[in-house]
């Protein structure tokens, strides 16, 4: 990616800062004045053997001289992710995929970039259609390299978890079990104890932020497993209902539908699928009513994580998340995927002649 190498501009700027002419710089390096002029105008580049000499002359690193940064800051990574997520929503899959490959190649040793590129591919793999399996396999190779070479245990742990997710998506549960069984998981979160320490120190605001973040993330984790819970009790309708009622009621106490509507959109859809497969059409349609209502409710989109009157010290926790307050897929992709999960799903074929279902599909098409 030669267009990203700005050595000519750097040489010109540093030369002027140093107060030397092109001729003087050329004399120091043992090249012609014309050569220096071509470097600064971008017509050519210095010989590779001159790079350390130039860097030393200007008291900078070779990377700085090249205008190349092998690492990205967290804010840069978030902006990159948002930009590529929009690309998947607004351009053909191959165009966005090519951009991902370019970032992956350029920042080959920036593990957070590698992790987020892998997450992008996983989250947008359905857009690849018949190549979805190949996309998951590519993501697995990325996550494998991260776990093998990255010295940041947090990033390596995330990569291992995501690798397991990919194996499940490829219907390879044994590989996922082998990885997950080997993972070390702390028995307790550090946040409650850390909050207590900050409280004792007198930093009450920090303590509140930590404890609210702990409560919020715990609730989100519980709500996030609701679809799997209901799926496990397909043969036990009473247990599936009890799980749905208890978990969503707990979230309702904290007003999580408003704070994290995507979780509830997924939960209502999962319940509708389970009830349909159990032959409980009216209950399924009740859940689809809630699903459509929330998906089309004003103010839900654009999706953005936020606090509320109870979670009034959550900003620091949300800002600490890798992707910040925005979802891993664009709003457009999330909406279309949610609509397709009803309109194109074979699960709901038995409902297609039902008047309520017909009205719901009409509403979905207009969202």
25 shares its domain with 82: no
Reading the chain (367 residues) residue by residue, the pLDDT tens digits are: 444 567 888 899 999 999 999 999 999 999 999 999 999 988 899 999 999 999 899 998 887 887 666 678 888 999 999 999 999 999 999 999 999 999 999 899 899 999 999 999 999 999 999 999 999 999 999 999 999 999 999 999 999 999 999 999 999 999 999 999 988 877 678 999 999 999 999 999 999 999 999 999 999 999 999 999 999 999 999 999 999 999 999 999 999 999 999 999 999 999 999 999 999 999 999 999 999 999 999 999 999 999 999 999 999 899 888 888 999 999 999 999 999 999 999 999 999 999 999 999 999 999 9
**Does residue 307 contact residue 313 with C-beta atoms inside 8 Å?**
yes
Provide CB contacts within 8 A for 47, sequence distance 6+. none
Domain boundary at 182, 211, 230, which? 182
pLDDT at 7: 87
* pLDDT (0 to 100) of residue 183: 86
Same domain, 340 and 258: yes
Residues 353 and 211 in one domain: yes
> Can you give the pLDDT at residue 203?
97
Domain CATH number, residue 29: 1.10.260.40
Same domain, 346 and 204: yes
User: How much is the pLDDT for 70?
Assistant: 63
Instruction: Please check whether residues 336 and 196 belong to one and the same domain.
Output: yes
Query: 219 and 323 share a domain?
Result: yes
Helix residue ranges per DSSP H, 202-280? 204-224, 226-232, 237-253, 256-259, 261-277
Task: Give residue 106's pLDDT.
Answer: 87
- CATH number, domain containing residue 89: 1.25.40
220 and 262 fall within a common domain: yes
Contact 330, 119 (CB under 8 A): no
209 & 267 share domain: yes
Range of the domain at 295: 191-365
Number of domain units in the chain: 3
**Pair 271, 154 in one domain:** no
Last residue of a domain, one of 49, 66, 83: 66
Query: Residues 133, 135, 136, CA angle at the centre, nearest 5°?
Result: 65
Same domain as 286, residue 221: yes
Q: Which among 134, 164, 182 is the end of a domain?
A: 182
What whole-number distance in Å separates Cα of residue 242 and Cα of residue 360? 26
């Amino acid at each position: 990616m030669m267009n990203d190498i700005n050595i000519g501009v750097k040489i010109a700027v540093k030369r002027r800062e140093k107060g030397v002419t092109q001729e003087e710089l050329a004399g120091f390096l043992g090249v012609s004045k014309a050569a220096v002029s071509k470097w600064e105008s971008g017509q050519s580049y210095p010989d590779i053997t001159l790079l350390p000499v130039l860097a030393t002359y200007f008291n900078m690193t070779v990377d700085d001289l090249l205008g190349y940064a092998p690492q990205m800051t967290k804010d840069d990574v978030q902006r990159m992710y948002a930009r590529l997520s929009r690309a998947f929503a607004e351009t053909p899959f191959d165009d966005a995929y090519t951009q991902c490959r370019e970032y992956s190649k350029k920042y080959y040793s920036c593990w957070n970039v590698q992790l987020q590129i892998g997450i992008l591919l996983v989250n947008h793999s359905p857009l690849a259609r018949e190549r979805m399996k190949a996309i998951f396999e590519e993501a697995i190779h990325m996550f494998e390299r991260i776990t093998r070479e990255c010295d940041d245990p947090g990033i390596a742990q995330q990569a291992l978890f995501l690798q397991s997710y990919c194996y499940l998506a490829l219907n390879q549960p044994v590989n996922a079990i082998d990885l997950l069984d080997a993972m070390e998981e702390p028995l307790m979160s550090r946040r409650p104890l850390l909050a207590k320490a900050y409280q004792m120190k007198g930093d009450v605001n920090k303590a509140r932020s930590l404890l609210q973040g702990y409560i919020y993330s715990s609730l989100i984790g519980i709500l996030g497993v609701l679809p799997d819970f209901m799926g496990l009790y397909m043969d036990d309708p009473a247990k599936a209902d009890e799980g749905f009622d208890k978990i969503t009621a707990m979230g309702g106490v904290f007003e999580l539908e408003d704070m994290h509507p995507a979780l509830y959109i997924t939960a209502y859809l999962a319940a509708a699928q389970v009830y349909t497969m159990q032959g409980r059409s009216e209950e399924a349609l009740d859940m689809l009513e809630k699903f459509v209502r929330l998906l089309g409710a004003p103010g839900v989109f654009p999706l953005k994580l936020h606090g509320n009157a109870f979670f009034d010290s959550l900003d620091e926790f949300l800002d600490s998340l890798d992707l910040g307050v925005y979802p891993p897929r664009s709003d457009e992709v999330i909406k279309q995927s949610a609509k397709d999960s009803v309109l194109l799903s074979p699960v709901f074929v038995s409902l297609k002649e039902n008047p309520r279902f017909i009205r719901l599909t009409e509403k979905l098409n207009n969202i």
